[in-house]
Amino acid sequence: MANINKDALVDSISSGMELSKKDIEAVIDSLTDRITEEVRNGNKVTITGFGTFRVSKRAARKGINPQTKESIQIPEMSVPKFTAGKTLKEAVR
């Protein structure tokens, strides 16, 4: 199993399209920037068949400092969540 980074993704997409690698990279950058901005603003972004990006709240909880074994309080925080869509789930099965 190989890990695919952004450059490999750009190469893969450009081989099947008549767009330059620079144009494809600009589209990917724009897409990720837009999704990030919308999720940061608390909006849910759904790409039908692929999945949904949203913000979730993680409750405050107690933790342990692994170096000192001291109990610490971890504050509530917002975290990004991704839920795979039906088409993606079926493709992976």
DSSP 50-77: TEEEEEEEEPPEEEE-TTT--EEEEPPE
By residue range, what is the domain housing residue 30?
1-40
The percentage of the chain sitting over the pLDDT mark of 90, rounded to a whole number, equals: 89
* Average pLDDT for 65-81: 95
* Average pLDDT for 43-54: 96
Same domain, 4 and 22: yes
Same domain, 68 and 33: no
Count of the separate structural domains present in the chain: 2
Same domain, 48 and 80: yes
Whole-structure pTM value: 0.79
21-48 pLDDT, tens digit each = 999 999 999 999 999 999 999 999 999 9
